[in-house]
Amino acid sequence: MADKLVIVESPAKANTIKKFLGGNTKVVASMGHIRDLPKSKLGVDIEHDFEPEYINIRGKGDLIKSLKKDAKQAKKIYLATDPDREGEAIAWHLAYILKDENNKIVRVTFNEITKNAVKNAINKPRNIDYNLVDAQQARRVLDRIVGYKISPLLWNKVKRGLSAGRVQSVAVKLIVDREEEIEKFVPEEYWNIYADLEDKNTKKEFEARFFGKDGKKQEIHNKEEVDEILKNIENAKYIVKEVKKGEKKRNAAPPFTTSTMQQEASRKLNFTLKKTMSIAQGLYEGVKIPERGTVGLITYMRTDSTRISEEARAAAKEHIIKTYGEKYYENRYYKTSKDSQDAHEAIRPTYADLEPDSIKDALTKDQYKLYKLIYNRFMASQMSSAIYNTMAVTIDANNYTFKANGQNIKFKGFMALYVEGTDTKEQEVGMLPDLEENQELKKNKINPKQSFTEPPPRYTEATLVKALEEKGIGRPSTYSPTITTILERRYIEKEQKQLVPTELGKVVNKLLTDNFSDIINVEFTAKIENEFDEIAEGKEEWKKMIREFYGPFEKELSKAEKNLEHVEIKDEVSDIPCEKCGRMMVYKYGRFGKFLACPGYPECKNTKPIVETIDVPCPKCGAKVQIRKTKRGRKYYICENNPKSCDYISWNKPKLGEKWNPEEAKEFEKAKKETKPKTKRKKSAKKK
């Protein structure tokens, strides 16, 4: 019998915590939520002030019995679920199930799973924070009402299986609106003129760009304007008019929040949001490290704060000075955005001494990549600014002005360890020759270049998260499930990394924005998020907020039910004829994704998979290489002639000109066996 019972969500977290607590403490897992709204009905009693109708989750009966038994035997029960609103709600549901008649249930939270953090939390328990619980209830109930009231409309008027959601529908709207911007965009012509100039002393060549005339900026719209300028500078002397030398500082980026981690993992590691959060969850809950046991490697990964503790700051200082030297350290504080909940710290490593390369063998390949990203980002955030020598030169040619800029790095600072990625291409700028004012330069070549304005880029997962955060839509815990849902519903699909609305997505978006314009819009969704925050802070009563929402919503719903007409979505036609009947095949969606089907069904039932190929030939036989996926969604590469006349198969994308290593096929088969889903053994029939 244990004196203390600690309840967490997952077995991994339980294993990590066990070693920090004494033998008289038992640590068990609730396996996430144990109570929720029923799936089969609305589960919100609208007639009785929106009272939620919670039920025990199906399949958790034995677990609940076990938790009750453990709770009965314990003198003190610590609910140690995650330190956010969702975790608070899970703790509240656990307290309800365990019926605390003797006031022995308390709540504990920790932002990192380390010995000090866990022991401090156990020594300073608190009561359940009902404001946080109410904020989670408000979100759950409001989203349930929106989803369960609007979705049946979509089933009736469009097709079954569709869903609407407060945040997901706004995310789809952003993507559809961007696509419309792109389609309506009219490119405009513009020109640049570049001069290849040479310093006569050093013979070093550099490029200067046309700026304007008589010191004033001039834009060039067409070739006639270009020809006029070229004519006037044909025999011009290029004289250096001004040289400005200086220094420029570049500061480190702050440590990760959930959204910046997701964006950077997308840019640098090509991880989806879902993958990033899954790996981060594992790093937070604990990884087995030789000689250290199971260790929580990072702090809690759902946060919008850039704050870090003084202990972490001191550990970073010691590590940076020891590794790089005193001049590389700078004590930095970062401002957290006004909308941040700031409930806990930024995402950072829990132990400064556990450098990524020192524990690489204990981590999976993906865990190592993400841990290294988090570790380096945090350490860099406490390092000195990078310093550049800069030079800006103004050049005169017959009263026309050209400008050139250059820079080189003087002191790397934080860039010795980490540089933040960007969503746009950055051009590197080298240093210019050491030029002097009134110096004449040699003209080697003039390069006029025609360009056209480009439409705004499509969203990627990373840039959509950035947009959602900037507009105040959703919170750290919602970004990944929101994007996962709209991909699974096929309202959008990915082309390379870009998010593109499907015909279904466009139809559903139009239907929702036309009929629920007060709900499916950015401003309203951001306002709702702020109200959730006010509930969490005890400034607003959650049912009052739902009441105020439901009145206008019910009117819109009633109006939409009367006015909505049936919408037929036509299948997208491919350019591939059906080999059985000659009709042009159409794209359909099934359990395993997109495939081709004959539109003549049921007369013709022909279907075929969509074969995606790459532009690199098979390293073994020169035929086309196809991209395929395992049942678990992992991508691999295979020769189109496999298994007939070529056995090329690999996890790795082949490179042009590289020779095939037969060991890759063995590695493929080995990994395939290791990742094969485990099937449950059937119980043998009992003998009568």
d(CA 350, CA 260) in angstroms, rounded, equals: 19
| pLDDT at 677 exceeding the cut of 60 | no
| pLDDT at 610 exceeding the cut of 90 | no
Q: Say which residue, 62 or 519, is predicted with more confidence.
A: 62
Q: Say which residue, 255 or 619, is predicted with more confidence.
A: 255
| pLDDT at 37 exceeding the cut of 90 | yes
| pLDDT at 687 exceeding the cut of 80 | no
Q: What is the DSSP letter of 569?
A: P
**How far does the chain reach from its first CA to its final CA, in angstroms?**
39
Active-site entry in 300, 388, 459, 648? 300
Q: What is the mean pLDDT of the chain?
A: 90
d(CA 237, CA 242) in angstroms, rounded, equals: 15
Residue 81 — very low, low, confident or very high, per pLDDT cuts 50/70/90? very high
| pLDDT at 682 exceeding the cut of 50 | no
State residue 518's pLDDT score: 80
| pLDDT at 162 exceeding the cut of 90 | no
Clarify whether 300 is annotated catalytic.
Answer: yes
Q: What angle is formed at CA 377 by the lines to CA 415 and CA 480, rounded to 5 degrees? A: 135
* Mean pLDDT, range 350-376, rounded to an integer: 97
State residue 439's pLDDT score: 95
| pLDDT at 688 exceeding the cut of 60 | no
State residue 672's pLDDT score: 60
| pLDDT at 659 exceeding the cut of 50 | yes
* Mean pLDDT, range 17-29, rounded to an integer: 90
**Helices 522-536 & 166-184 angle (0-180, nearest 10):** 150
Residue 31 zone, left/alpha/beta (φ > 0; ψ -120 to 50; rest): left
Strands 76-79 and 4-8: parallel
DSSP letter string, 211-253: EEETTEE--B-SHHHHHHHHHHTTT--EEEEEEEEEEEEEPPP
Structure tokens at 448: 């006029």
CB 363 within 8 A of CB 371: yes
State residue 427's pLDDT score: 58
- The backbone torsions φ and ψ at residue 337, rounded to the nearest 5 degrees and listed phi first, read -60, 155
CB 382 within 8 A of CB 329: yes
| pLDDT at 421 exceeding the cut of 90 | no
Structure tokens at 672: 């395939």
| pLDDT at 562 exceeding the cut of 90 | no
- pTM, two decimals, is 0.84
Mind listing the pLDDT tens digit for each residue in 267-295?
999 999 999 999 999 999 999 999 889 99
H or E element at residue 387: strand 386-397
Q: Say which residue, 83 or 680, is predicted with more confidence.
A: 83
State residue 215's pLDDT score: 85
State residue 684's pLDDT score: 41
Sheet of strand 649-650: strand arrangement: 612-613, 625-629, 635-639, 649-650
Residue type, 236: A
CB 329 within 8 A of CB 240: no
Mind listing the pLDDT tens digit for each residue in 369-405?
999 999 999 999 999 999 999 999 999 999 999 999 9
Give the lowest-confidence range in 111-115, 227-231, 246-250, 669-673.
669-673
CB 94 within 8 A of CB 32: no
Residue 474 — very low, low, confident or very high, per pLDDT cuts 50/70/90? confident
d(CA 539, CA 545) in angstroms, rounded, equals: 11
* Mean pLDDT, range 127-140, rounded to an integer: 97
Residue 680 — very low, low, confident or very high, per pLDDT cuts 50/70/90? very low
Nearest to 260 by CA among 420, 125, 417, 145: 420
State residue 576's pLDDT score: 87
Residue 170 — very low, low, confident or very high, per pLDDT cuts 50/70/90? very high
Q: Which residues contact 566 (CB under 8 A, 6 or more apart)?
A: 156, 157, 158
